[in-house]
Amino acid sequence: MKLRVLYHGKDGNAYAMADKFSREFRCTCDKIPPAYPCDGEILLLLGAETSKKNAPRELVEFCKTLDAKRTKNVAFFTVGTTSAENVAEMKAVLEKNGVHVCEDVFNVPAKGGLFKKAFITEGDLENSMTWANKIVDSLFDRR
C-alpha cells in the first residue's frame, strides 16, 4: 500500500489519531513538514488540530508542495471546532494542483479552554479507525 499519515498540531490529539492509523496500516507517520517528501503515494491521511478559522500557514504551505505525482488522494482528519473552514482552504490548494480530496472529513470537535487542553477519547480514536478503514478500503484491495 502506498499510504502515508502526516499530522500537524501541538496538543497531541492529531498525533494520537495519526499514530493509530500508522500502526493499523503499517505505514509511515510523520509530523508536518515531513522528514522526507511524499512521492507516489496513493493516499495521504492528513491530520490537523484546528482552533482558528484559517488553516495554519504551515499546513497551507505544505499542501502547496503536493501534486498528483506526490500523492493522488488526500483524506483529512481534524480535531477542533473550525474544521470545515480549515479543510476548505487546503482542499482548494490541493485540487488546484490536481490532487483528489476525499469528501468525507473526520472531525472530533474537541474544545479546550484558556487553561484546559482539549482531548480526544478512546471512543473518538475507535470512530477515527472506522472512518480510516472506510477510506482505505475504497482505494485499496486489502484481501
Q: Per the domain annotation, does 77 fall within a domain? A: yes
Q: Is residue 116 part of a domain?
A: yes
CATH number at residue 113: 3.40.50.360
68 within domain boundaries: yes
Name the percent of the chain lying above pLDDT 90.
Answer: 67
Overall average pLDDT of the 115-138 stretch: 89
* pLDDT band (50, 70, 90) for residue 23: very high
Answer whether residue 143 is part of any domain. no
Q: Read off the pLDDT band of 15 (50, 70, 90).
A: very high
The answer to whether residue 54 sits within a structural domain is yes
Residue 139 in domain: no
SS3 annotation, the chain: CCEEEEEECCCCHHHHHHHHHHHHHCCEEEECCCCCCCCCEEEEEEEEEECCCCCCHHHHHHHHCCCCCCEEEEEEEEEECCHHHHHHHHHHHHHHCCCEECCCCEEECCCCCCCCCCCCCHHHHHHHHHHHHHHHHHHCCCC
- The residue segments making up the domain with residue 39 are 3-133
Per-residue model confidence (pLDDT) at position 143: 56
Determine, yes or no, domain membership for 9: yes
* % of the chain surpassing 70 pLDDT: 92
Asked whether the predicted pLDDT for residue 85 surpasses 90, the reply is no
Q: Which residue has the higher pLDDT, 12 or 6?
A: 6
Which of 79-83, 114-118, 136-140 is predicted most confidently? Answer: 136-140
Domain membership flag for residue 91: yes
Task: Count how many domains the chain has.
Answer: 1
pTM of the model: 0.91
